[in-house]
Amino acid sequence: MSSFTDSVVVVTGAGSGIGRTTALEFADRGANVVVADVDSGGGRDTVEAIGDAGGEASFVETDVTDPAAVQEMVDVAVAEYGRLDCAFNNAGIGSEQIPVSEYPAEQWEHIIDVNLLGVFNCMKAELARMKQQDTSDAIVNNSSVLGKVGFEKSSAYTAAKHGVLGLTKSAALENGEAGVRINSVCPAFIDTPLLEKGNVVNDPETLEELKGLHAMNRLGTPAEVAQAVVWLCSDEASFITGEALGVEGGYLSR
């Protein structure tokens, strides 16, 4: 198991689900974790959970669509722990299922702002700091299997997640020589509060349909995504950059 002892890691959207589990995994491996989320209650609960497990973490209330808030997040990491070694840009929101011809423009733009502009804002601030350091650093962006394929009535989310992959590859090309590796993960349907909000897991018929989209006939777990993120940030993945790693139980094999 790779160690992150004394490393400094930022995780956005760390107040629940994949973000919380990843923050806990980094902390369990010795990292100092900056927990960032627009949900202050959830974020503080994550910090408390890390502390209860013997880890070190700080919380920063962060709206990733606000460049000033994102800069504060990076500044807190540096002020509290001296540098920034890794980042998991995970913050995102789901969308209602609406055909393109009927999608309200304001709602469409909001999905793009959080899921794509938010990743751009985070990377811009993180890279500015990382490139000042004489270390090998790593960034992982959370895309989706829908960053690789289409999905009916989910144009905004799908477009945003495709954009995350393009952004990741472009930034990887720009920053490889500077020692910053930049990758993405592409989870399929993961059993998180995001699905619960849509009442998916409470509808047996819909839940079985979603499970059936995967070769393993089940949903993924936040821990399975967290393990992939941590591995991409580790020295074990030292020659991997610009990659879009599927964590998708065979969803894309059909």
Domains of the chain: 8-189+219-244 (3.40.50.720)
Predicted pLDDT at 119: 98
Region 159-174 average pLDDT: 98
Please check the confidence at residue 205 and state whether its pLDDT lies above 90. no
Residue 211: predicted pLDDT = 94
pLDDT at 173 over 70: yes
Tell me the pLDDT tens digit for each residue of 124-142.
999 999 999 988 999 999 9
Q: Is the pLDDT of residue 228 over 90?
A: yes
Token pair listed for 118: 């938010």
Q: What is the pLDDT of residue 204?
A: 82
Mean pLDDT of 202-230: 93
- pLDDT at 201 (0 to 100): 54
Alpha carbon distance 140, 221 (integer Å): 18
- Per-residue pLDDT at 198 exceeds 60: no
Q: What is the pLDDT at residue 199?
A: 45
pLDDT value for 110: 98
Residue 79 has pLDDT above 90, yes or no: yes
pLDDT > 90? residue 206: no
Please report, in angstroms and rounded to a whole number, the separation of the first and last CA atoms in the chain.
32
Query: Can you give the C-alpha Rg of the chain in angstroms?
Result: 17
Q: Residues with catalytic annotation?
A: 157
Look at residue 200 in the predicted model and tell me its pLDDT: 53
Half-sphere exposure of 131 (CA within 13 A, CB side): 14
